Amino acid sequence: MAKTADERSDLTDLVDYPRETLAQLSCPVLSLFGLSECGAELVARLAPQFIKL
């Protein structure tokens, strides 16, 4: 289910696999801040701390 930068996720991916899809979108950004290991479980634990814009 991993996507490259030029591939798009279907809306069904977001509905069927919300944690995994969010991890795919956020892990590349989190790696810029030094997180070398990132996955759906980590993103789920961090989600309450994310700032809503």
- Angle 11-25-17 from CA coordinates, rounded to 5°: 45
Q: 53: pLDDT confidence band, cut at 50, 70 and 90?
A: very low
Q: Which pLDDT does position 1 carry in this prediction?
A: 46
Q: What is the pLDDT of residues 4-51, one digit of tens each?
A: 555 666 778 777 877 888 888 888 888 898 988 888 898 888 878 876
pTM (two decimals) = 0.58
- Helix and strand totals (H; E) in the chain: 3, 0
